[in-house]
Amino acid sequence: MLELKNVKKSYKTGNFVQHALKGVSLKFRQSEFVAILGPSGSGKTTLLNIIGGLDRYDSGDLIINNTSTKKFKSSQWDSYRNNCVGFIFQSYNLINHISVLDNVEMGMTLSGVNGKVKREKALQVLERVGLKEHIHKKPNQLSGGQMQRVAIARALANDPDIILADEPTGALDSKTSVQIMELIKEIAKDKLVIMVTHNPELAKSYASRIVEMKDGECLSDSNPVKDKKKETSYKIKKTAMGFLTALKLSFNNIITKKGRTILTAFASSIGIIGIALILSLSNGFDIQIDKFESETLSSMPVLISQMQMDINAAEINKTLNDKNLESYTTEKKVYPLPDLISTTTHTNKLTNDYISYIEAIDAKLISGLSYTRITKLNMLVKKDGAYKLVNNDNLSISVIPKKLDSSYNHGVIEDNYDVIEGRMPSKFNEIVLVVDSKNRLDEKTLKELGIDVSNDGISFDEILSKEIKVALNDEFYVKKNGYYTYNDDLRGIYKSDKAITLKIVGIIRGKEDKSLVTNGSGIGYIEELIDYVISENDKSSIVVEQKKYDYNILMPSMKFDKSKEGIEAKDNVLATLGAKTVPMAISIYPRDFDTKKDVLKYLDNYNNDKEQEDKILYNDMAAMISSLSGNIMDAITVVLISFSSISLIVSSIMIGIITYISVLERTKEIGILRSLGARKKDVSRVFNAETFIIGVCSGALGIIIARLLLIPTNAILKDLTGLSNVARMNPLHAFILVVISVILTLIGGFIPAKIASKKDPVEALRTE
Ligand code: ADP
Ligand code: MG
């Protein structure tokens, strides 16, 4: 039994109050066809909406199942609308972007009727209204009468006890109206049908009871309910929309505006593209650096020099702050700043014993070993018939690291350089020229070697035919008046059979993929050359005499005292002259990244039982470079990602706006869903589903575009750095970015979805 008790409803617009219902009391039977007649504005629709639970009354009561609805919660109203009431509107109110069948099924979908039953029932009611052939059409492909039949089918689908029809034939021609009325009359056989109309003829010919309304009041009732027995019981089931339904609704809606959705997804994917590219680049560079470390940096030496900076940040800090001085003090005093170099410099005592220790290292572990010496090579060249001293200051010349045991490795030079002409030196008097990636060689060095510098290039033959002489001390220096000086007789020196004839036997060039460690050019000689020169010069009279005197034998005004500095200075002069001394530095080239650990362990072992001052400290060049490059990459990545994040924020604001527009556009749909029993939650779910779809699309689109952009990016990088396939996308990053995109769009769409759920269903239905 449905009963209205003195129901009042008024609308306030500004200061004006419109009393739409001024106390209506009506009782309805379990099944009858009630027509509510009355002029426009008399409150018919308001009455119907209140009966249907779409609108709330101000005072009075609506009795359903003998229960007052005064304390109804909104979820109870939703269930009531869904299970007990079917609405038929003048303007059909179908959802245009889903099929006829889906429209009819929507109420059942909301109450969770299972798929098969739902389909069966929908087909059954559609057959009943005569639309079986049109089930897959969209509503706007149908005629007005057909659309109203769909609406009737929808109202019937959930098998409600009450059908509420608001001017169902108002928009139809008279012939179609009659058909629709017949259908409604048919329905009214076993249901309560309340139909609003302002057409008295229709009311009279079809309805079993006519209620007349005027100015919000009941004027007459042709067949009022007198008896008060006959209890009715309406079933009220809970409704809830599944997320899949919400997705389907939103998906269909999105399909109707593909262009906009694609543009939105694209625009909001830009941030994702940016971040994906940056991550791919930094990820790629990380991989590259790792590779670079293990392949290329392993060819960087471990350096042991006589003066070793002991770079220990804690130590330096302690030295600088040991007095706890205040910054920007007003105190009128000056304090000494300790000499960092002397406090942090460790003197490595490179003894012959140590050299022997080094040379006893397992040959498998290293691919090269070289000594840095200051021994001067006294070189002469012949150019255009004249003899010329080579100024060593203008020469870039260095020693080729030696292999300890050729059976174990190819040697650091073979690993990193290609021989592009001739061969590598095998005898002490053989040298190679090292050219850079563009076959260039330091111009000063070329000039010093007496080679004509030409912009058209110098032929390999011309270079390979060049001879250079290295004079030994006894020819190079002569004693005059008790002191030593340079011999002027260059021709004599050059022609002397004691002079070493250096032959350029090959030209080598850094390998393409090793361009980061092989960028120099110059002359390379082998250790045997310097060994030979030293063994000869150590016996030379200038060296023998220099050892005896406490002044520079070439520059008598330079005295050596007995201080540490004095002894060092004398040793330097002797070393330059070719006396047998320990080298200035030792470079050890580990064979690869793994053996480097063993090499370092070997070096550490030497220090085990040594006092601090006798320890030999070393510098791992590769470790210094790679830790630096790793830090820089991380910093750059963080900065770039924070820039791109701004575009993510912009895109989530944009999604908010787009969703809001969508809410405005779909207001009517919100009303329809609410009239079918959708909860507020379900409505916001529909819009969250929409932003979810956009979020997934923009995330996926961003990843796809970024992936495509990696192709030209890698091409450009290859051009710039010679490295192929640097930028690589980590699948985990891609996944996380899609998730972030979804989360951000959901956040952006959250408020509009909330707004949508709060919309008043009556108002929503009224919008066009
Ligand atoms: P009917 O359906 O009989 O034409 P309604 O029930 O729609 O009449 O309206 C009854 C009265 O209430 C009318 O004067 C109408 O202007 C007013 N009214 C209805 N809905 C609203 C509303 N949301 N805000 C303000 N006035 C309203
Ligand atoms: Mg009306």
Q: What is the pLDDT of residue 626?
A: 64
Tokens 């640097």 identify what position? 726
Q: Between 232 and 100, whose confidence is greater? A: 100
Residue nearest to atom 13 of ligand 1 (CA): 41
Ligand nearest to the CA of 47: 1
Identity of the residue numbered 375: T
* DSSP-derived secondary structure for 151-190: HHHHHHHT--SEEEEESTTTTS-HHHHHHHHHHHHHHTTS
Q: How far apart are CA 80 and CA 618, in angstroms?
A: 84
> Which SS3 state, helix, strand or coil, does residue 428 take?
coil
> How many Å lie between the centroid of ligand 1 and the Cα of residue 678?
24
Tell me: pLDDT of 625 over 70.
Answer: no
pLDDT at 339 over 80: no
pLDDT, residue 384, reads 86
Q: How much is the average pLDDT of 663-684? A: 88
The pLDDT-based confidence of 301 (bands split at 50, 70, 90) is confident
- pLDDT tier at 329, thresholds 50, 70, 90: confident
Q: The tokens of 166 are what?
A: 């608001």
Whether pLDDT at 262 is above 70 = yes
Residues 598 and 684 in one domain: no
Report pLDDT digits (tens) over 59-78: 999 998 788 999 999 888 98
Q: Judging by DSSP bridges, how do beta strands 59-64 and 209-214 pair with one another?
A: unpaired
Residues in Cβ contact with 656 at an 8 Å cutoff, skipping those fewer than 6 apart = 748, 749, 751, 752
pLDDT value of position 540: 93
Distance 199 CA to ligand 2 centre (A): 12
- pTM of the model as a whole: 0.61
Mutate to test the pocket of ligand 1, among 8, 9, 11, 22 (most ligand atoms within 8 A of CB): 11
Q: Which atom of ligand 1 is nearest to the CA of 213?
A: 3
Task: Give the separation between CA 385 and CA 721, rounded to whole angstroms.
Answer: 45
Tokens of 498: 């004691």
Phi, psi of 26 (to 5 degrees): -150, 145
Ranges 19-28, 157-166, 312-321: which has the least confidence = 312-321
User: Which protein residues touch ligand 1 with a CB less than 6 Å away?
Assistant: 11, 13, 18, 20, 38, 40-46
Q: Which ligand is the nearest neighbour of the Cα of 216?
A: 1
Q: Which residues are 422's β-sheet partners?
A: 506
Give the percent of the chain with pLDDT over 70.
93
Name the residue at shortest CA distance from atom 5 of ligand 1: 43
Atom of ligand 1 nearest to the CA of 21: 10
Is 75 a domain residue? yes
Distance 61 CA to ligand 2 centre (A): 21
Q: How many helices (H) and strands (E) does the chain have?
A: 26, 28
How many residues are present in the chain?
768
Tokens of 345: 């410099």
Task: List, as own/partner pairs, every contact residues 241-246 make where C-beta atoms lie below 8 angstroms and the sequence separation is at least 24, other chains included.
Answer: 241/109, 241/110, 241/678, 241/679, 241/681, 241/682, 241/685, 241/686, 242/109, 242/112, 243/685, 243/689, 245/109, 245/110, 246/682, 246/685, 246/686, 246/688, 246/689
Provide the domain count of the chain: 3
SS3 label, residue 390 = coil
CA of 594 to the centre of ligand 1 (A): 86
Residue bearing tokens 């009220």: 236
Of 7, 8, 46, 195, the residue with max ligand 1 atoms within 8 A of its CB, to mutate for a pocket test, comes to 46
The pLDDT of 457-470, averaged and rounded, is 90
**In terms of domains, do 397 and 478 share one?**
yes
Ligand nearest to the CA of 167: 2
**Residue 207 region by backbone torsions, left for phi larger than 0, else alpha for psi between -120 and 50, else beta:** beta
| Between residues 631 and 441, the one the model is more confident about | 441
Q: Which of 413-422, 627-636, 664-673 has the lowest mean pLDDT?
A: 627-636
Residue 80 CA to ligand 2 centre (angstroms): 22
123 within 8 A of 158, measured Cβ to Cβ? no
Which pLDDT does position 286 carry in this prediction?
79
CA gap 297, 304 in Å, rounded? 17
Candidates 47, 371, 56; CA nearest to 212 is 47
What pLDDT, in 10s, does the model give residues 687-714? 888 889 989 999 999 999 999 999 999 9
- What is the whole-number distance in angstroms between the Cα of residue 216 and the centre of ligand 1? 9
Atom of ligand 1 nearest to the CA of 49: 6
Domain identity same for 11 and 85: yes
User: Residue 428 pLDDT more than 60?
Assistant: yes
| Domain assignment present for 335 | no
- Nearest ligand to residue 166 Cα: 2
Q: What is the pLDDT of residue 93?
A: 93
Ligand nearest, relative to CA of residue 37:
1
- What span, in angstroms and rounded, lies between the C-alpha atoms of 84 and 73? 16
Q: For residue 405, name the pLDDT band (cuts at 50, 70, 90).
A: confident
Q: Give, using CA atoms, the residue closest to atom 6 of ligand 1.
A: 43
Tell whether 670 and 534 lie within a shared domain.
no
Ligand 2 centroid to Cα of residue 48, in Å, is 9
How high is the pLDDT of residue 44?
94
Ligand 1, atom 17, residue with closest C-alpha? 20
* 757-666-688-118 Cα dihedral, nearest 10 degrees: 90
Rounded to 5 degrees, what are φ and ψ at 4? -100, 130
DSSP state of 550: S
Q: Which amino acid is at 514?
A: K
* Nearest ligand (C-alpha, residue 11): 1
Does residue 360 sit in the same domain as residue 279?
no
Atom of ligand 1 nearest to the CA of 13: 25
The answer to whether residue 436 is domain-embedded is: yes
Residue ID of nearest Cα to ligand 1 atom 12: 20
DSSP annotation of 402 reads B
Q: Which ligand is nearest to the CA of 44?
A: 1
> pLDDT category, 270, cuts 50, 70, 90?
confident
492 & 399 share domain = yes
What's the pLDDT score for residue 220? 93
Cβ neighbours for 604, distance < 8 A, ≥ 6 positions apart: none
Whether residue 261 is predicted with pLDDT greater than 80 in this model: the reply is yes
Same domain (yes/no): 727, 606: no
Domain that holds residue 502: 349-616
Point out the domain boundary residue: 590, 616, 642. Answer: 616
Which of 593, 616, 639 is the last residue in one of the domains?
Answer: 616
Any domain includes 245? no
Question: Where do the H-state alpha helices sit in 487-592?
Answer: 490-495, 527-537, 541-548, 564-577
Distant-in-sequence contacts of 550-554, Cβ < 8 A, 24+ apart: 553/483, 553/484, 554/477, 554/483, 554/484, 554/485
So what's the pLDDT on residue 529?
94
Tell me the pLDDT tens digit for each residue of 526-585: 999 999 999 999 999 999 999 998 889 888 888 898 888 888 899 999 999 999 988 999
Banded pLDDT at 454 (limits 50, 70, 90): confident
Could you tell me the pLDDT band of residue 171, with boundaries at 50, 70 and 90? confident
User: Are residues 291 and 221 part of one domain?
Assistant: no
- DSSP secondary structure code for residue 393 in this structure: G
Residue (of 518, 534, 584, 529) closest to 371 by Cα position: 584
Indicate the SS3 state at residue 126: helix
**Looking at the domain assignment, is residue 302 inside a domain?**
no
Instruction: Tell me how far apart the alpha carbons of residues 494 and 503 are, in angstroms, rounded to a whole number.
Output: 14
DSSP one-letter code for 31: S
622 falls within a domain: no
Q: How far is the CA of 7 from the centre of ligand 1 (A)?
A: 15
**Domain-terminating residue out of 616, 645, 679:** 616
Ligand nearest 38 Cα, by number? 1
Q: What is the CATH number of the domain that holds 204?
A: 3.40.50.300
Neighbour-count burial of 713, counting CB atoms closer than 10 A to its CB (0-12 exposed, 13-18 middle, 19+ buried): middle
Same domain, 673 and 607: no
Instruction: Pick from 9, 18, 87 the residue to mutate for probing ligand 1's pocket: most ligand atoms within 8 Å of its CB.
Output: 18
- In the reported structure, the alpha carbon of residue 45 is separated from the centroid of ligand 1 by a whole-number distance in angstroms of 7
- What is the Rg, in whole angstroms, of the alpha carbon atoms belonging to the chain? 48
CA–CA separation, 109 and 242 (whole Å): 8
pLDDT attached to residue 553? 87
Structure confidence at residue 125 as a pLDDT band (50, 70, 90): very high
Task: Select from 360, 441, 379, 372 the least CA-distant residue to 401.
Answer: 372
Q: Do 68 and 27 share a structural domain?
A: yes
Q: Cα(56) to centroid of ligand 1, in Å?
A: 14
Q: Which ligand 1 atom is at minimum distance from the Cα of 766?
A: 23
Q: Give nearest CA residue, ligand 1 atom 2.
A: 45
pLDDT at 231: 57
12 CA closest ligand 1 atom index: 25
Going by pLDDT thresholds of 50, 70 and 90, the confidence category of residue 499 is very high
Mutate to test the pocket of ligand 1, among 37, 40, 45, 195 (most ligand atoms within 8 A of CB): 45
Q: Is residue 311 part of a domain?
A: no
Give 519 or 384, the one with higher predicted confidence: 384
The whole-angstrom separation of Cα 676 and Cα 211 is: 26
In ligand 1, which atom is closest to the CA atom of 763? 23
**Which protein residue has the closest C-alpha to ligand 1 atom 25?**
11
Q: Rounded to the nearest whole angstrom, what is the distance from the C-alpha of residue 646 to the centroid of ligand 1?
A: 48
Residue 316 has pLDDT above 90, yes or no: no
Closest residue by Cα to atom 15, ligand 1, is 41
State whether 65 and 179 are in the same domain.
Answer: yes
- Domain membership of residue 481 (yes or no) is yes
Please tell me the distance between residue 417's alpha carbon and the centre of ligand 1 in angstroms. Answer: 92
Same domain for 163 and 230?
A: yes
Which value, to the nearest 10 degrees, does the dihedral of the CA atoms of residues 468, 474, 476, 482 take? 180
65 CA from centroid of ligand 1 (Å): 28
Chain segment 707-751, per-residue pLDDT in tens: 999 999 999 988 887 778 888 889 999 999 999 989 988 888 889
Distance 684 CA to ligand 2 centre (A): 28
CA-nearest residue for atom 11, ligand 1, is 20
Mean pLDDT of 331-353: 82
CA distance linking residue 718 with residue 767, whole number of Å? 59
Give yes or no for a contact between 56 and 133, defined as CB atoms under 8 angstroms apart.
no
- Residue 689, H or E segment: helix 680-721
**Cα–ligand 2 centroid distance for 70 (angstroms):** 24
